[in-house]
A and B are shown apart, each in its own frame.
Chain A
Amino acid sequence: MTFVGLAPAWVAGLIAAGCVVLFVLYLLRLRRRRVEVAFAPLWTRVLVERDSTNLFRRLKRWLSLLVQVALLAFLVLALGDPRLGRVLEGRDVVVVIDASASMKATDVAPSRMARARAEAKRVVRGLSGADSVLVLRMDATPRPLGPWDVDVTAAARRIDGVMASDTAADLSRALDLAVDALRGRRHPTVVLVGDGDWPAEPLAAPRLAQVDLRFVPIGSRGDNLAVTAFAGRRRPADRRRFDLFMEVRSFRAVATEVTVEVRADGVLVDRRAMTIGPGEAVRRTYQDFGGRGGLFEARLVAPPDADCLAADDRAFALVPERRRRRTLLVTDGNLFLEGALLADPDVSLERIPPAGYRPREATGFDVAIFDRVAPEPPPGVRGVLLVDPQGGGAFAVVRRVVDPILTDVARDHPVARGVVLRDVNIRDASAFAVGPSDTTVASSFGAPVIVARADAGVRTVAVGFDVRGSDLPLRAAFPILLANALDWFVDDEADGPLLVTGSAWRVPVDSAGPIDVTAPSGRRFAAPVVDGRAVVWADEIGPWTVGKLTVAASLGAPAESRIAPRHPAGAGGVALPAPELRDTGLRRDVWIYLAVLALVVALVEWFTYQRRITV
């Protein structure tokens, strides 16, 4: 036994001192009251009888003293906060509480999360005094909620703090963390508390071979309807138009009538009722939206008893607004270039001849395009397009290729996305020397003809041939290539980013310092900016404000919407057993038992004293 509170010497000293005080008090004889009586001989007889029971009275006094000493000892011992030694063979138990979005389901009252907390506390309270427990919260980023606890109350309080997030569960990470925490500990045990619809592989991992895996099921039914996909994309060749795609899925065993609404920046643009069959996924594409884009929200309205999880009834799609790019074209005249740029409504074009170009005077431009010249770019531009620089500028020319055929195109580069350059006829072209920060966008038998470079702050694309000496301007690929290049320069993405909770976003911002972020719940914090992008960890569904930008997160995890409870299996396909709750009754915080004992003795002694059984 060890004393966590008062030191054992203090405990012994205080008990001894108390005993002395009590002893002294019990040596005192209570002065009797003087009572005048009318006829003394009657009372003399009483006094004679009293003398005959003197021995018994002395014994009663010592007994009473002993009771008081015991009472005092209980209280002082409690002050020492004694802890039992590990006489029992204890376990080290990691309680993993599923706090993913599916635990917000309300198929059990008041919610799965509340039930999970209650069950987890029941598990913790059922542990023996020799056990220690680590409470671990599992969502997209599982983490321990505190140190190893031997204090059941402290562990229970940690469990009370577990709230379901809007992210998907990552069982693999949670188990890895549990195994790390249990390494080298006694009888390692993991108790999983959740709805159990987890992938099978992590539970059968060899790392868990030495771990006693247990499971506490939560949830009763899987009735749910969800918007499992919602996203917007601008069309590759006509960035002014975009499509929206939505998938609504039923996780029920019966057909359900639902209503789906689509809002654009909060304004209702579509509302339709539909019937979704059992387990059916209804996919709908809203084609040919025109306009500036914005934030779209899909909202599913279903009967409450048919839809136990509300978190996946909303999804958001962001179609970034097209920013107008102030573009400087330095050329002696190139109708193809000018025509393509003027046809782009997002381009504000200014043309000047090379002779009139003064870099220091050309300010406020987003993009500079140099046609057959390669002077110093104006300050502050975010992108430079060099058309046939002919060895000028930052791109060294290795050789001139006559009648090149573009054999290889880096289709995954943003500049080449959706661009078909097959069989383009080119009179001749420069083959560039490619540096470490360069990407070859198109090449002719290994000779780089279109190269992209991403240097700090400025992006450059060099096209090694005069477009007038090719049939490229006559093809659909030309405006797409130009639009891609301009988008890449200013970091405009043709596709709306698919932002889902449980992931780190990297949102392009203008600021270099920390940026203010407001979460859908109103929580505010400053996000760091790395390489021109604010790094935000998104754990809430809904619209976020990152600096001046509004982005939005959806759950985006169909597996999380599948909320039907399931009993998972471990290695060998054997269903995980329930935890064994020991009924030892004796916990490590002994002071509580001492205090209760003192309480009982104080009460009983009070009655015995009043009835003169003790004195």
Chain B
Amino acid sequence: MRRGLLAAAAATALIVAAWWWWILRPGREAVALVLFGREVILLAPRRLLVLAVLPWVWFGRSLTLTDLPRAQTALSAIVRSLLIAAVAIALARPASPWHSSRVSAVFLVDASDSVSDDQLEASRRFVEEARRHAAAGEAHLVTFARRPRVVALGDQPLAPIERHAGAGDATNVEAAMQLGTALFAPATLRRLVLLSDGRETEGATIAEAYRAAAAGVRIDVSPLPGRARPEIVLHGLSLPPRITVGRPFEVAADIVSTHAGEATLWLEQDGLPNPLDPRRAVALAAGANHVRLRSLVRHAGHVSYRARIDARGPDTFDQNNHQIAAAVVSGRPRVLVCDGEPERAGAFADALRAESLDVEVRGPHGVPTALRDLERWDLLVLSDVPPVFFGPDQAAAVETWVRDLGGGFLFAAGPSASGEGLAGSRLERLLPVRFGTERKRDEPVLALALVVDKSGSMAGQKIELAKEAARATADLLAPSDLIGVIAFDSQPSPVVRLQRAAARARIAGDIARIVASGGTSILPALQGAFAELQPARARIKHVILLSDGQSSYNGIRELVDEMAQSRITVSTVGVGDGADRTLLGEIAEWGGGRFYFTQDASNVPRIFTKETTEVARSALVEEAVGAVAVKRADVIGGIDLAAAPPLRGYVATKPKPLGEVIVASQQGEPLLARWRVGLGKVAAWTSDLKPRWSAPWIGWTGFARLWAQVARDTMRARASQRFDLRAEVVEGVARVEIDAVDRTDRFVDGLEGELVAIDPERPSERRSVALRQIAPGRYAAEVPARPAGALILRADLRRDGKPVGEATGAVAAGYPAEYADLTPEPRLGDTIARVTGGRVGVAPADVFDPRGERVRFEHDLWPGAIGIAALLLLLDVLLRRVRLFGRKAVST
């Protein structure tokens, strides 16, 4: 027994080793053998390991207690071994190559919009007739338009083929072929039968045909019967390659009609009727018709056209009655000036016009609200526009325009655009200077003297309201500001000495002590105020005088003039009919302030509040300011700023860390600063551009030159060279190529650049992609494009950040290509039939004709092995139940 055990183990090891050596080690997934001259493939050869149990059959036999002679037990062991071997071989999945001439066909039926109902019905009849020759499971149907769809073929006659609702505007034969490939029955000759008008709009059918040919698929083609439907197609809308502002040109419309008839051609420019030729009655001839309409563009930038033809006769599709075109319009640099007081912006605009810039002046409501409005401009100037007119959306549009499209932005502050409302705003983030934080800690900006009439006539509600107004004024001021209160009758009495407004409680207490009594004498009171304010250190010194009575004029004019020379301004408030409106008005005029009058004393607090707010606009510096060049820069090259007269004011700001201050005030605060934002530049001028603060400058000889230089420096950079741009839309992608060849006929290499694509109808969906050099002087990029729509393309090419050249162009398609041509196109079918060895014009009865071909497939042999095992089982039992040897007597 021990020997038997060892022998079985050794034999098992031998079989396992052979299995490892032959199958496992080489990593064989399948093993091909030739048995009796026939090729047999084992598809799961690793399962042959089961054969390792065979030695144990023989070991079992060595343990036998049966009453059978050795020969019969040996025979039985052989049969049992064969049985086990047969099962093991079956498990190894033997297969043998066979051949079949059965045909499996998938009908690919074009159900796109370019296929007529008659053609679709013809396809249905074709499929119905052809499938009569097919066995079960050998015919399948795929209908397709933009995408393919499997249609179950039952036993019933084929119902009318359904169109692909909402997806019939494209034809993708490739996708249908690919889906059809997944439907073939196994072990059959594979045929695709294409029933299409051949107008492919998506996909790469030729490539798929090659793949199909490599996979042994033949494509038969049955061209659809073509019968022309009445159709008018606005085939093309073309613009001249170069459009110049103000020069008329022709827009050419190509119309293809299947029949003669009458129609009207409409043309829109940027959504509005075409300026010169908005509509034209057209007598169409059968075939191609060319219609030209005159047009004119008034703005540089880009322009888009949409044409529509209304036919008075039959026309199958409406989709192809539209067409669009777009182009880039060249012109002089365009500047948009938005000013809070447009009537006063003339000097600045004229200065730019004199330097060959196209300027348009708008009021504060004309600030562009969308990117599309900004696109046509090279420079946007916001001048003295109150922040209320410049919302977050506008700021976002300007930011995108500057950052991504290289637009130029000049911000001129002016009195309306002081720090209030700007500090921390999106607009301020765009600027190279910061508002609202310019005040130095503890430095008083405003020194305010309230000179309040406390004569007897003020008694009662008036004096109380005046006191309340004085307290409210103190509350309004910044803690570091100075306030003084002088109550007067015939003599002034300082109620609150000039002091910081921080001590509000004490100031309020002092004001509360004012009691009305006595006459009215303004001069001594003003003298007292002058005496308080003159030595004070504050940028703004102001007096508010309140009175309800009459006073002597003597000496007041002289005093107020003297105060004005000391940069102390005076505003006056008259209360009630008793007030000397003439005197108070004159004092305000002499003092450079404002005069208020009210019958109702209850208005006094409000007037004080308004006046204080007006004066306390602390960022404004309304004084003579000399401009000093603090940095040498081309933008002020050739301009002698030292010879420039002083400005009358500016808004105090602080430069941002990356901001570049070019011109500053004598106090060192920025007047002109600039920086780069993305592709564009932003400049900030903290004074104004009109005859308020810049009045002395307007007459200065350097005014026009300075602003022309600033405008040119800030505006969208214009490259020195224009390169050719070509673009085509293929399957939803605009492929753009730019040829950079310089004037000496050399390729311009090594540039960086980016392509910006703008959809005129969806300007917010603009895309920006990097250009990549692909050949000498050739740069390329791809951007997504709608199947029906236009794209304005603009490329800027730079070397080391400096503009080298630009290229512009446009691609447009008014409708999906599905509707461009409705006549059958036989070449596609011919080509793919030739590539795959299929037939053109196959008859329904011939679809399932194998044409003498056979397909090789692998026929499973494992059932045979299992059957043999079953027979061997019976034989084995027979060997146990019938004694074949040893019938004669045995002697012991």
Interface of A toward B, CB cutoff 8 Å: 5-6, 14, 18, 21-22, 25-26, 28, 30-38, 68, 71-72, 75-76, 78-79, 81, 134, 140-144, 146-148, 153, 156-157, 160, 173, 176-177, 180-181, 183-184, 229, 231-233, 235-238, 242-245, 247, 283, 285, 407-412, 417-418, 434, 436, 446, 476, 495-496, 498, 502-504, 514, 525, 527-528, 530-531, 535, 537, 539, 558, 591-592, 595-596, 598-599, 602-603, 606-607, 609-612, 615
A30 to B68, CA, bound (A): 10
Q: Are A141 and B204 in contact (CB under 8 A)?
A: yes
Interface check B827, CB cutoff 8 A? yes
Q: Are B777 and A72 in contact (CB under 8 A)?
A: no
Chain B contacts for A418, CB-based, 8 A: 739, 741, 745
Interface check B795, CB cutoff 8 A? no
A65 to B882, CA, bound (A): 15
Chain A contacts for B44, CB-based, 8 A: 153
| Partner among A25, A148, A283 whose Cβ is within 8 Å of the Cβ of B878 | A25
Interface check B88, CB cutoff 8 A? yes
- B454 CB to closest chain A CB (Å) equals 72
Interface check B624, CB cutoff 8 A? no
- A166 CB to closest chain B CB (Å) equals 14
Q: Are B777 and A36 in contact (CB under 8 A)?
A: no
Q: Are B745 and A236 in contact (CB under 8 A)?
A: yes
A500 to B287, CA, bound (A): 39
Task: Choose among B175, B830, B873, B889 the residue with the greatest number of A CB atoms under 10 Å from its CB.
Answer: B873
Chain A contacts for B827, CB-based, 8 A: 530-531
Q: Are A36 and B890 in contact (CB under 8 A)?
A: yes
Q: Are A602 and B878 in contact (CB under 8 A)?
A: no
A539 to B204, CA, bound (A): 14
- A416 CB to closest chain B CB (Å) equals 9
- A608 CB to closest chain B CB (Å) equals 9
Interface check B888, CB cutoff 8 A? yes
Q: Are B87 and A602 in contact (CB under 8 A)?
A: yes
Known contacts A180-B179, A610-B63, A611-B65; is-contact A235 B890 (Cβ 8 Å): no
Write out, one digit per residue, whether chain B residues 43-61 have a CB within 8 A of any chain A CB (1) or not (0): 1100000100100110011
A606 to B76, CA, bound (A): 10
Chain A contacts for B204, CB-based, 8 A: 141, 503-504
CB nearest to A144 among chain B residues: B182
A550 to B178, CA, bound (A): 31
Chain B contacts for A595, CB-based, 8 A: 87, 90-91, 866
CB<8 Å pairs between A and B, sample of 12: A30-B67, A143-B215, A177-B175, A183-B149, A229-B774, A233-B776, A285-B750, A408-B240, A418-B739, A537-B207, A610-B65, A611-B63
Given contacts A153-B44, A599-B50, 7 further A-B contacts (CB under 8 A): A33-B883, A176-B175, A233-B776, A528-B831, A528-B835, A598-B869, A610-B65
Q: 4 tightest A-B contacts by CB? A: A231-B775, A537-B210, A243-B776, A34-B889
Dominant SS at the B interface?
mixed
A364 to B270, CA, bound (A): 54
Q: Are A412 and B874 in contact (CB under 8 A)?
A: no
Known contacts A140-B207, A144-B181, A530-B827; is-contact A157 B30 (Cβ 8 Å): yes
Q: Are B745 and A35 in contact (CB under 8 A)?
A: no
Write out, one digit per residue, whether chain B residues 547-589 have a CB within 8 A of any chain A CB (1) or not (0): 0000000000000000000000000000000000000000000
Q: Are A591 and B866 in contact (CB under 8 A)?
A: yes
Q: Are A33 and B886 in contact (CB under 8 A)?
A: yes
Q: Are B148 and A180 in contact (CB under 8 A)?
A: yes
Chain B contacts for A144, CB-based, 8 A: 178-179, 181-182
Chain B contacts for A75, CB-based, 8 A: 87, 866-867, 869-870, 873
Known contacts A36-B892, A229-B774, A409-B241; is-contact A22 B60 (Cβ 8 Å): no
Q: Are A495 and B292 in contact (CB under 8 A)?
A: no
A5 to B863, CA, bound (A): 8
Chain A contacts for B775, CB-based, 8 A: 229, 231-233, 245, 495-496, 498
Interface check B724, CB cutoff 8 A? yes
Write out, one digit per residue, whether chain B residues 234-251 have a CB within 8 A of any chain A CB (1) or not (0): 000000111000000110
Chain B contacts for A76, CB-based, 8 A: 870
- B382 CB to closest chain A CB (Å) equals 38
Interface check B778, CB cutoff 8 A? yes
Known contacts A71-B873, A595-B90; is-contact A609 B66 (Cβ 8 Å): yes
- A162 CB to closest chain B CB (Å) equals 13
A21 to B207, CA, bound (A): 62
Within 8 A of A (CB), among B82-110: 83-84, 87-88, 90-91, 93
Known contacts A143-B208, A243-B776; is-contact A68 B873 (Cβ 8 Å): yes
Interface check B441, CB cutoff 8 A? no
Chain A contacts for B181, CB-based, 8 A: 143-144
Write out, one digit per residue, whether chain B residues 760-788 have a CB within 8 A of any chain A CB (1) or not (0): 00000000000011111110000000000
Chain A contacts for B774, CB-based, 8 A: 229, 231, 245, 498
Q: Are A160 and B29 in contact (CB under 8 A)?
A: yes
Q: Are A181 and B208 in contact (CB under 8 A)?
A: no
A278 to B100, CA, bound (A): 58
Interface check B183, CB cutoff 8 A? yes
- A275 CB to closest chain B CB (Å) equals 19
| Partner among B61, B773, B887 whose Cβ is within 8 Å of the Cβ of A247 | B773
Q: Are B90 and A233 in contact (CB under 8 A)?
A: no
- A125 CB to closest chain B CB (Å) equals 12
Known contacts A36-B891, A283-B750, A595-B87; is-contact A610 B60 (Cβ 8 Å): yes
| Partner among A30, A68, A408 whose Cβ is within 8 Å of the Cβ of B882 | A30
Q: Are A35 and B53 in contact (CB under 8 A)?
A: no
A358 to B241, CA, bound (A): 41
A134 to B183, CA, bound (A): 10
A411 to B738, CA, bound (A): 12
CB nearest to A21 among chain B residues: B874
Q: Are B881 and A177 in contact (CB under 8 A)?
A: no
- B876 CB to closest chain A CB (Å) equals 9
Task: Choose among B93, B745, B870, B887 the residue with the greatest number of A CB atoms under 10 Å from its CB.
Answer: B870
| Partner among B175, B211, B890 whose Cβ is within 8 Å of the Cβ of A35 | B890
Chain B contacts for A36, CB-based, 8 A: 889-892
Known contacts A28-B882, A68-B873, A407-B242; is-contact A235 B66 (Cβ 8 Å): no
A501 to B417, CA, bound (A): 60
Interface check B726, CB cutoff 8 A? yes
Within 8 A of A (CB), among B390-426: none
Chain A contacts for B65, CB-based, 8 A: 610-612
A157 to B857, CA, bound (A): 13
Interface check B163, CB cutoff 8 A? no
Interface check B834, CB cutoff 8 A? yes
Chain A contacts for B91, CB-based, 8 A: 592, 595-596, 599
| Partner among A233, A408, A446 whose Cβ is within 8 Å of the Cβ of B747 | A233
CB nearest to B181 among chain A residues: A144
Chain B contacts for A285, CB-based, 8 A: 747, 749-750, 776
Q: Are B43 and A157 in contact (CB under 8 A)?
A: yes
Q: Are B182 and A134 in contact (CB under 8 A)?
A: yes
Chain A contacts for B509, CB-based, 8 A: none
Write out, one digit per residue, whether chain B residues 18-45 have a CB within 8 A of any chain A CB (1) or not (0): 0000000000011000000000000110
A476 to B777, CA, bound (A): 19
- A610 CB to closest chain B CB (Å) equals 4
CB nearest to B750 among chain A residues: A283
Chain B contacts for A476, CB-based, 8 A: 745
Chain A contacts for B286, CB-based, 8 A: none
| Partner among B83, B185, B724 whose Cβ is within 8 Å of the Cβ of A602 | B83
Write out, one digit per residue, whether chain B residues 708-729 have a CB within 8 A of any chain A CB (1) or not (0): 0000000000000000101000
A146 to B187, CA, bound (A): 11
Q: Are A142 and B182 in contact (CB under 8 A)?
A: no
Known contacts A25-B878, A407-B242; is-contact A33 B182 (Cβ 8 Å): no
Q: Are B178 and A142 in contact (CB under 8 A)?
A: yes
Interface check B746, CB cutoff 8 A? yes
CB nearest to A26 among chain B residues: B881
Within 8 A of A (CB), among B780-820: none
Interface check B134, CB cutoff 8 A? no
Within 8 A of A (CB), among B836-878: 862-863, 866-867, 869-870, 873-874, 877-878
